[in-house]
Structures are given as C-alpha cells and as structure tokens.
Amino acid sequence: MRRFGLIALVVALVVSACSTDTDTLTVYSGRSEDLIGPLIQQFEEESGIDVAVRYGGSTEIAATLLEEGDRSPADVVFTQDPASIGAVALEGMLDPLPIALLSRVPERFSDTDGRWVGVSGRARTIVYDTTLLTPADLPATEDGLIGSEWQGLVGIAPANGSFLAFVAAKILLDGEAATLAWLEGMAANGSPAYSNNSSIVSAVADGQLDSGLVNHYYLLRRLKEQPETSAANYFFPEPTAGSLVMPAGVGILSATNNREAAEAFVAFLLSERSQRYFASETFEYPLIPGVPANNALPPIGDVPTPEIDLSELATVLDRATDLVTQAGLL
Amino acid sequence: MTVQAPWGPEPAVKVVGATEAAPPQSRTGRKAPWWMWVAGVLIVLPLVLPLVFLFFRVLGASDAALDILFDLRTAELALRSTVLTVLVTATAVAVGVAAAWVISSTEVPGRKAWGVLVPLPLVIPSYVLALSFLAASGPRGTLATVTGWDVPVLDGLPGAWLALTLSTFPFVYLMVLAALRRLDPALEDAARGLGASRWRSFWTVTLPQLRPAIGAGALLAALYTLSDFGAVSLMRYAAFTTAIYAQYAGRIDRTPAAVLSVLLILIALVIIWAEQRTRGNAAYHTSRPARRRSRQRLSTGERIAALGFLVSVVTLGVVIPVVVLTTWAWRGARVGETVTIDWGAVGGSLVGSSLAAILAMAAAIPIVVLTVRYRGRASGWLERTVFVTFSLPHITVALAVVFFAVRYLGPLYQSLTLLVVVYASIFLAQATGATRASMLQVNPSVEEASRSLGRGPLQTLRSVTVPLIRPGLLAGGALVFLTTMKELPATLLLRPTGFDTLAVRIWSAANELFYARAAASALVLLGLSAIPLYFLVLSTKESSE
C-alpha cells in the first residue's frame, strides 16, 4: 500500500512536470477570478486563443514578476492599481502599447510612456454609517479628517495597495511634509487600521465603525448581497488625493513571444462589451468614453480628479511606505 | 524509571519495576548508516534554500533597509508577536490537554462524537475563523441580532488570541490524545494505589509522561501562530507577519521584508531552542504491551463541567463558523447569487494536499530516526531547519522559491511537483513532530533485537521501526493534509497556471466581498477535511485497542 502510494506520487509528479504549453496566452492577474473570470472565458470563446491566468493579489503578482525578471512566463500583467503595475514598468519589464489601444482611454488614466493602459476606474471615497452620519458632517477633503472630532472614527487600511497608492498621490500633490503631517494626524487620532478595503466596508456596514477611507465599489457589492445595509459612499467634492480615480492597469511584457494574442487581449478589455461588464458586474467605472457607469454612482466626469501623473505613483511608492511607517501606522 | 516533571528539575515520581530502566535514546555505540544522512540532507536541502536566499538579501541590503532593524516599531512588533504567541500557546496547551484527557480518560457522555468534533477547528482556515467571529460579534452581529444584547466587536488581541487558539489547540489535542492512548496505565494505577488523589496522579504521573506530546503540539502551535497572517490581519492585531506583508505590498525594494523575515527566524529559533531544552533526556517507552487504561468515573458536577467545557470549545470552533458561513451562503442564494461548488478547485485541493501528505510522511521517517536515535549536533540542526521553515510566513518562503526555481529549475517552475515539494517542506514539521512523539515511545531494544538477529539497518527500519511509528506517521500525514487544504500564499505564487484550490476560491471571493461564494467554498472545504480528520481520530484509537 505504501509502495503503491509512493509510485503513484512519483508518476503524478513526473507527469505534472512535463505539461507545459507555449501556445497559450499567460496572464498574471492581480484582479481576482471572481471579478474577471467571466471576461476571460468570453475572450477565449471569441478569439479562439487559450488563456491561462495566474490570479493573485496585485502585490504578490508584481513581486513575483520582479523575482522572475526576464525569465517570466507571463505575457500580460493586469493589476488592481497603477502603483504595482508601475513598479513592473519601472524595472523595464513592459513594452509600450500600440497607440491604437492607448488612444481608447483618456490619457490621464494611462502611463505617460504608454507601457500600461487603464482598464477600469475606482474612486477613493469615504464609506459611512448612515445611521450616525450625514454627508453634511463629512469634510470637503481628506485633510478635514485629522481634526479631533474624528478621533477613532475613520478606518484606514495602511498596508493596502490602494491606500498606499493614495498616499503616493498625496506626496506628489502636497509634498512629503504635508503627507507625513496628515498621516501623523490620522495616527494621533487613533484611526483604526484594517487589513483591506473589504474589512472596512464590512465593519462600517456591521456597525463596528463609523466611517472609513476605501474604494467606491466594495459597498455596492455588499448592498447587492444585503440590500438592507445602512451605509453609503461619500465622494470628496474637492480635487485632492482623497478623490483620486485610480485605474486598474494592463501591460504587455517585453519578454513575451505572444505579442499578437496579448494585444488582442488588451483590445478586448478595452472593448465596449468588456467595459459594460465592469460597469454592471464589478461596479467599477468604465474608462472608454460613451460607456456609462452604474447608475448608483455619480458620472466619472462629476468626480473631481486632481492633476496627477499616475506613472509617477510607483516612483514614490517606497517613500509612501516609509512615511506610513514613520507615522507609526504600519 | 525516572519521570521528570516538565517544569522542575526534581524527579517527580520514582517507580521501580513498573517500566524497565530505559536505555539512552541515542545509541552511542552505533553510527547512523550513511544513506540515512544522505536522505536527511536531501530532504532538508529545499528547506535551506529560502533561508540562504534571505540571508543573501539581507547581506546585500543598503543601510537604509537595515535601519528597520533598529527601529522602535520593529521592537514593538517583535513584542506583540511574542505576546500573542505565548498567550496562544498557553491556552492551546491547556485546552488541548484538557480536551484529550476528558475524552480519552473519563466517562464523559458522547465521547466518540466529541472525539471527532473537538479537533474540527483545525480544518477551518484561520482567516475564515476570524471573519466569522467578526460577523458574529459587534453591535449588528449575529449574536446581538439574536439576543438583543449590546455585544462589543471581538477584534485586536482578544480576537486574534481566540481565533488562533482554536486554530492551534488541535495540534496539542491530537498529539496528546495519541500519547494518552499508548500510555502504560501501570504507573498511574500504582500512584493511585499508593494513595495519590486523581488530580495529584494526573499532575505528577500522567502529565510528565505526556511531555513529548505536549512539547511537540505546543511547538507547532507556537510556530503556526508566529507565521499566521490571515487571523492577525483581519483581527487588526499588528504583528511581524502583517509588517512583512506590508513591506512586500508597499515597496519595490524587497530587502526590508527580508530583514524582518530574518528577525522572525531568530524568534522562531528561540522558541525551538526552548522546546529542545525542556525535552531533557527522559525516555518514555515501556517494554510491555500497553494495557487499556481504565476510564475515570465522574461525579455529576464533574460531568456537567466536562460537558460544558467540550460544548464551549465546539461552539466557538465549529458551530459559530458554520452558522455564519451558512447564513452567508443562504443570503446570497436568496438574492439570486449563483452559489455553486467549483469541482476543479475541489480536485486541486484534494490532489495537492494528498501528495503533500504522502511526501511529508516519507520525508519525516529519516529525519525522525536521525534526531531521536542518533541525537547530535548535526541531527539537531536538521530538525531546527524543519521547524524554522514552518515558522516563516509562506509568502517569504514562496518568493524565495520563485527566485530559485525560475532561474535554476526550468520546467519545474510553476509545476505541481514544485508546489507539492514546497507544501511538504513548509509543513514537514507537523509530520516530524507527530512522528517523533511516536518514536520516543518505541523501545530501542526492539530495534537492537532485530539488528542482532541479523537484519540490516534498512530492513529493521522497514519491518520494525516504521510499523511501530505508524500511528505517529499517519497523524502527521493527516495534519499535513489538513493544513495544506487551507494553505493560501504559497499556492497563489507557485501553483501551475490554471490550478485552483478551495482556499484560493475562498480568499478570492471574500477579498472582493462576495461572501456568499466564499461561504460555499468554505463549507465544502470543511466537509472534505472532516473526512480525513475522522479517520485520524479513529486511527489513534485503533493503535491502542
């Protein structure tokens, strides 16, 4: 019995080691299968191209690519936020995309050197408990949150990619000193730290927390499963880092030997059909003009967006983490 | 035979004649056969690579990256991780030993059912336990809704403590249960016959004999706590692992994460050293066939207390998570969410976990024989490496493997083979821990007899030692299987593209707040894992009766 088990093990391991396929398009996705699985399936059916997707957190995906270097089997990288794909681009691992693809999306949602293009947008918002707060109680920018009246009331996710991207944006807009002062203000206020956006939204919806800084769409998913939830999103009316619309980004690796299929995949993500999917299924903002957002959301044009070069986010990402650490939030 | 109390230098009981004077565990006269060393080194090699990788990262670090070593916050995180680990280990030992003793040695009603229900929390991923406590507590949680009470939210240190105690006490429970069932009752009977109370005989006779089992379980509990990310991050308890993840998430420079990981290794080494120190030289075997121990009668008060204890453990560790998960799945189904079972993920979980368990069992044999029979400096380091690997956050191990595999292993990179080897490496400590406890109860004179009757070392290993340590091996294999079923970070980074597991499905859905789908996968995971757990509990029974 033991011997049989060992033989079976060896056979299984040898067989598995021999099964590598070079024809398929390999996508490293920091966006989960629950979000984009159906899209991938549609693409496979329409194009006849086989797609193998590695799902993981955007951070893990970017870290994996950096460890793999130019030996990476990946053809395409698709991440939640501009900072992690920016890190891959900074390492020189991404080739510029064709103008035809880049031009489908407003310039401000893509890399200035065209190494990645924005696919769908998420706005930074405050999620708040509607039984405790009204929009009139909430400040015009994130700077209003460091007042003592917000002591312990605003949840943040200091180790989360979206929050760090927001801090990086704040560094670019307001400078390091002001950003550090803000972070220290949040720390002095005893702002509860959560592991990610979903935990904050759950905590607010479950009455464990008054409000929190998050991306806009988690609440909409919660409302879909539990419509009786007493929580709402508040969009900052002033264009600061707090009201940043951040795109999920996609790029093609320089080391790919499957460029044609990779470009077809990016084109598919930027098609009207995929963009409608993001609006209705993941509650994100579609980025190509003409596709409306979910009607529970303000139109993307109404969300005040600061003037910021998203490609630069990755360059200050380490500084953002330094400051968050220095403020004692990590 | 001299039995030493775990917390005092004084011999607690001397019973002459009940168990024969034990020869030393290490055979000073004989050296281990060369092929066993080769096997041991080959097994430990893949475990050493990530450690080597980390040390090189740290050696190449800039001064700025090394600053993190001297940061006050780093010291605070070390303290927070240590506090949590000590608390969790202490309660895991208390709960695990008490539950094992009540179930195996008393006439508490429904013993068989409790035997299977009590260790069930082991199969629930710690982040699922944490999520369900967060959903059950708080002003709008299940408990508050049902009772109308004002329930505070359970998070921070108490939350992490509770979730991790439930995740880890089964390690102690299973090891102690197996040891109790192999225990020679003669010592206990003698103590009782000499007039010792039940409590005194448990404390001074039974407990010291359980020391290897408690030590092995406690070590696994402590190192598991140290490496856990899911529960501490959801419970908002900042610790070393959350800091390491934060450094990976927030930086292109990966050195600070490596520096923190090396610090974590140092903490783990202290824990391992402490456990090895308290082991001493005591021997725990008997030359007589084990008799069945008589079960203690309980008074009505004691019976109520014992039942109350078991009910609370099962309520916290099984009932609450299952109720919360079922509510989520039901709520999702009600609003038209498709709640289905992903058979691909079921298959992936089963294949990956079974292969990992078989491999870890095979690898545990040489390691345990070397560390128990041929104790020495070299075998000590073999064992320490195994435990250190278990204490590392899986993302650290996995990223090191990515680095090596993509450069030097060619087609093995992102193969099931590599993933299974990594699973087995990360969880090998569970297999060696369980097997070691069994091995200590094997009298070396049985092996000596086989050798002097002309059998070679390999034949003796196969026909004498392995059958005798089978209960420990199987228990270890089952532990590896069950923890691999829950594994997430290494799976995400190293799985073959397209390979899916239930743990991945749960994480992916929960992360995006699709709780209904997450709950469906979690319930399937629970159901599937309960089956091997059932056999595990049965197998410890058979070995004694």
Domains located in chain B, CATH noted: 30-284+298-542 (1.10.3720.10)
Flag whether A306 is in a domain: no
Q: Are residues A144 and A288 in the same domain?
A: no
The answer to whether the beta carbons of residues A84 and A30 sit under 8 Å apart is yes
Q: Do A66 and B254 count as a contact with CB atoms less than 8 A apart?
A: yes
Give me the pLDDT at residue B15, please.
39
The whole-angstrom distance between A328's CA and the closest CA on chain B is 7
- Phi, psi (5° rounding) for residue B224? -60, -45
Q: Average model confidence (pLDDT) for chain A?
A: 89
Q: Kindly state whether residues A214 and A253 are assigned to the same domain.
A: no
Measured CA to CA, the distance from residue B194 to residue A153 in angstroms comes to 64
What lies within 8 Å, CB to CB, of A28 at 6+ separation is A53, A54, A56, A61, A64, A65, A72, A74, A76, A77, A78
| A51-55 vs A231-234, strand pairing mode | unpaired
Q: Which residue of A has its CA nearest to B246?
A: A159
Contact A73 B413 (CB under 8 A): yes
Closest to B250 (Cβ–Cβ): which among A19, A202, A321? Answer: A321
8 Å CB contact between B200 and B249 = no
Closest of B460, B516, B202 to residue B341, by C-alpha: B516
Helix runs in B137-210, H state only: 142-147, 156-182, 185-193, 198-201, 207-209
| Structure-block tokens of residue A290 | 């003409």
| Mean local confidence (pLDDT), A298-307 | 87
| Bridge partners (DSSP) listed for residue A252 | A76, A95
Give CA–CA dist A168/B321, Å, rounded: 38
Q: How many Cβ pairs within 8 Å bridge chains A and B?
A: 181
- In 3D space, the residue among A234, A232, A245 whose CA is nearest the CA of residue A285 turns out to be A245
Any A CB within 8 A of B477 CB: no
Residues in chain B: 545
Q: Round to the nearest angstrom and report the end-to-end CA distance of chain B.
A: 25
Q: Choose among A6, A198, A224: nearest Cβ to B335.
A: A224
Asked whether residue A193 falls in the same domain as residue A320, the answer is yes
Inter-chain CB proximity A66 and B236 less than 8 Å = no
Q: Which helix (H) or strand (E) holds B11?
A: strand B11-14
Between residues B63 and A301, the one the model is more confident about: A301
Does A310 fall in a domain?
no
Give residues with Cβ within 8 angstroms of B108, minimum separation 6: B102, B114, B298, B303, B306, B307, B310
Taking alpha carbons only, the member of B183, B167, B175 closest to residue B212 is: B175
Q: How far is B365 from chain A (nearest CA, A)?
A: 13
Residues 63-82 of A with CB under 8 A from B: 63-64, 66-69, 71-73
pLDDT in tens, chain B (545 residues): 344 433 333 333 333 333 433 444 444 456 778 888 888 888 888 888 888 888 888 887 777 667 777 778 888 889 999 999 999 999 999 999 999 989 988 888 888 889 888 999 988 999 899 989 998 888 888 788 788 888 888 888 999 999 999 999 999 998 888 888 777 777 777 877 887 787 788 888 888 888 888 988 999 999 999 989 889 988 989 888 888 888 877 777 778 888 888 888 888 888 888 887 777 555 566 555 555 666 777 788 888 999 999 999 999 999 999 999 999 888 888 877 777 778 889 999 999 999 999 999 999 999 999 988 888 888 888 888 898 888 888 878 888 888 888 888 888 888 999 999 999 999 999 999 888 878 887 888 888 888 888 888 888 888 888 888 887 888 889 889 999 999 988 898 889 888 889 998 888 888 777 888 888 899 999 988 888 788 777 766 544 43
CB atoms within 10 A of CB B347: 14
* A208 and A108 within one domain: no
* Number of domains forming the structure of chain A: 2
Residue with tokens 């059909």: A273
Name the minimum distance, in Å, from the CA of A130 to any CA of chain B: 14
- Return d(Cα B520, Cα B234) in angstroms, integer: 20
Do A80 and A127 belong together in one domain?
A: no
- The single-letter code of the amino acid at B139 is P
Q: Are A78 and A30 in contact (CB under 8 A)?
A: yes
Query: Partners of B296 in the beta sheet?
Result: B106
Q: Is B496 helix (H, G, I), strand (E, B) or coil?
A: coil
Q: Is A88 found in the same domain as A184?
A: no
Q: Does B493 touch chain A (CB under 8 A)?
A: yes
* CA closest to A210 among chain B residues: B139
Minimum distance, in Å, between the CA of residue A116 and any CA atom of chain B: 17
Residue B243 C-alpha, separation from nearest chain A C-alpha, in angstroms: 7
A263 located within any domain: yes
**B271, two tokens:** 């824990």
**Residue B281 carries which DSSP code?**
T
Q: Do A164 and B411 touch (CB under 8 A)?
A: no
Q: Give residue B335's Cα distance to chain centre.
A: 39
In the chain, the amino acid numbered B74 is T
Alpha helices, H only, B374-469: 377-391, 394-408, 416-440, 444-452, 457-460, 466-468
Smallest Cβ–Cβ distance between B497 and the set A26, A91, A317 belongs to A26
State ipTM: 0.79
- Whether A220 and A127 map to the same domain: the answer is yes
| A145 found inside a domain | yes
Q: Which domain holds residue A69?
A: 20-121+245-297
Query: Are A156 and A126 in the same domain?
Result: yes
Q: What are phi and psi for residue B387, nearest 5 degrees?
A: -75, -35
First and final C-alpha spacing in chain A: 51
Cα dihedral sign for A269, A273, A279, A282?
Answer: negative
CB atoms within 10 A of CB B350: 16
Query: What pLDDT score was predicted for residue A167?
Result: 94
Interface test with B, best of A58, A60, A223 (most B CBs within 10 A): A60
d(Cα B445, Cα B422) in Å, to the nearest integer? Answer: 36
Token pair listed for B47: 């475990």
Instruction: Tell me whether residues A199 and B337 touch, CB distance under 8 A.
Output: no
Sequence-ordered list of residues with C-beta below 8 angstroms from that of B395, at least 6 positions apart, any chain: A60, B229, B244, B245, B248, B489, B490, B493
Q: Indicate the helix (H) or strand (E) that contains A246.
A: strand A245-253
What 3-state class would DSSP assign to B118?
coil
DSSP three-state, residue B261: helix
Clarify whether residues A71 and A215 are in a common domain. Answer: no
In the block, tokens 């995309």 appear at A97
Q: Nearest CA of chain A to the CA of B536: how many Å? A: 17
Contact criterion met (CB < 8 Å) for B245 and A20: no
Nearest Cα to B92, choosing from B211, B2, B244, B217?
A: B217
**Closest-approach residue (CA) in chain A for B138:** A208
Q: Which helix (H) or strand (E) holds B525?
A: helix B515-542
Look at residues B364, B355, B367, B371 and name the one whose alpha carbon lies nearest to residue B473.
Answer: B364
Is A153 within the bounds of a domain?
Answer: yes
Rounded to a whole number, what is the largest CA-CA distance in chain B? 74
Residues A49 and A101 in one domain: yes
Nearest to A86 by CA among A261, A299, A278, A309: A309
Yes or no, beta carbons of B514 and A318 under 8 Å apart? no
Residue closest to B201 by CA, chosen among B218, B216, B186: B186
Tracing tokens 């230098």 back to the chain, one arrives at: B9
In a domain, A15, yes or no: no
Q: Are A161 and A57 part of one and the same domain?
A: no
The interface residues of chain B toward chain A in range 247-286, judged by CB-CB distance below 8 A, are 247-254
Instruction: Please indicate, yes or no, if residue A112 is contained in any of the structural domains.
Output: yes
Please check whether residue B94 is in contact with residue B102, taking contact to mean a CB–CB distance below 8 angstroms: no
Write the pLDDT tens digit of every residue in A19-55. 444 578 999 999 888 889 999 999 999 999 999 998 8
How far is Cα of residue B15 from the mean position of the Cα atoms in its chain?
33
Could you say which of A60, A208, A330 has the minimum Cβ distance to residue B492? Answer: A60
Which pLDDT score, from 0 to 100, does residue B280 have? 57
Closest CA to B24 of B2, B52, B48, B7: B2
Tokens 């939204």 sit on residue: A201
- Say if B210 is an interface residue toward chain A (CB within 8 Å): no
Residues of B in contact with A6 (CB under 8 A): 358, 362
**A54 touches B: beta carbon within 8 Å:** yes
Asked if A192 contacts A171 with a C-beta cutoff of 8 angstroms, the reply is no
Tell me if A232 sits within 8 A of B544, measured CB to CB: no
DSSP B106: B
Distance (Å, rounded) from C-alpha B433 to C-alpha B444? 19
Q: Distance between CA atoms of B101 and A98, rounded to whole angstroms?
A: 69
CATH label of the domain that carries residue A270: 3.40.190.10
Q: Is there a single domain that holds both residue A83 and residue A137?
A: no
Structural domain contains residue A303: no
Q: What is the pLDDT of residue B541?
A: 57
